[in-house]
Amino acid sequence: MDSETQRNKCAACYRQFNKKEHLVEHMRISYHSVHEPMCGICGKRCRSFESLRDHLIGLLPKAECERVFRDRGCTICLNIFGSPNSLRVHQDRCQLARGSNGVLHRFANLGIQDDLRMDSGRTRAVALACKMIGGGSDGSLDICARVCIIDEYENILFHSYVKPLLPVTNYRYETTGIRPEYLRDAMPLRHVQKKIQEFLCNGEPIWKIRPRGGKARILVGHGLEHDMKCLELEYPLVKIRDTAKYPPLMKTSKLSNSLKYLTKSYLGYDIQNGIQDPYDDCVATMRLYRRMRSQAHRIEEYPLATDSQNKNNFSSWRQGELEKMSPNELLAISRSDYYCWCLDSKDVA
């Protein structure tokens, strides 16, 4: 490798370029940042955890990283530890078991945990999940028939059957466990929607909700756009944390992973076998959210590429100046194009 190519090597993904101008263009469009998953061995930054997993133990892993990882790496969180013994201690905590909320959970299955109230307590983030039954002539139209909401500590806040507005043609009993009699006296959809909307806004007008601070709650889930459409629910994107659309949890092809896959890969247990409970989905998404939120990334005053303070970082009029910078200096001014959930842990307002 010649010295010129080495000088034009990206300090984040280690891709090499023949000319400095090509490296600058790469940095302009790649949005590398301290928030990207990073190999604990060689320091390479990857766009997603799937890409990092491929780098460590995929079909064509980096040999040295693979060797170290197989000896001292956690296959769930992909972190590296100082010794095999440290790894064993960590794995006991990292691999989780399927959640259960005891008596409350069993009561919720009967559809009686339906008193959802606004409060000023510690419920900053809540997870929502729905189970759908089928409508339409072929039963393929999704109709929400059951909804669950939990807090950050996996306590059930709301869990109820929902009376559908449209005729049901397929109860999908094999996966939902729902029978017609469960919905006969269920809460009407409009009532459910109003309760949830008021709870999420927590006293704030929806048009006043801002990304950071305020009383409105963070809404966690998987495929929330679909769930919210079926619930006829509106909520600002700035308060939504969707594990199906979070770049570090997506496939290398930038498509969504299933919640079942994410739970097995990044929490270490199985869900959605047989009859499915929305409580299990809520617990899985909340645990994934908390794991992503707990990552320790370097604090930046303006962490997003869209922040006005960063809009000129890679402007074309700075091309000459940028080409004189080292790869590390270019990385230092590069910012993320997505909101990292670790920033939620810094939001104490």
State the virtual CA torsion across 302, 305, 307, 311 in degrees, nearest 10.
120
Q: Return the percentage of the chain with pLDDT > 70, whole number.
A: 91
As a whole number of angstroms, the distance between CA 41 and CA 267 comes to 22
Q: Give the pLDDT confidence score for residue 111 in this predicted structure.
A: 47
For 19-48, give the DSSP string: SHHHHHHHHHHH---TTS-B-TTT--B-SS
This prediction's pTM: 0.92
Q: What are phi and psi of 26, to 5 degrees?
A: -60, -45
Which residue in this structure is represented by tokens 């023949």? 18
Q: Confirm if 247 and 161 have CB atoms less than 8 A apart.
A: no
> What's the pLDDT tens digit per position in 131-187?
999 999 999 999 999 999 999 999 999 999 999 999 999 999 999 999 999 999 999
Contact 38, 342 (CB under 8 A): no
For 79-132, the pLDDT digits (tens) are 999 999 999 999 989 989 886 654 444 444 444 466 665 554 567 999 999 999
- pLDDT digit string, tens, across residues 18-27: 999 999 999 9
pLDDT in tens, 57-71: 999 999 999 999 999
Checking if the pLDDT of 315 tops 50, the result is: yes
Instruction: Identify the residue with better confidence: 2 or 191.
Output: 191
Q: What is the pLDDT of residue 108?
A: 45
- Collapsing DSSP to helix, strand or coil, 255 comes out as coil
| 177 torsion bin: left (phi>0), alpha (psi -120 to 50), beta (else) | left
Beta bridge partners of 132: 144
| Tokens, residue 31 | 């949005």
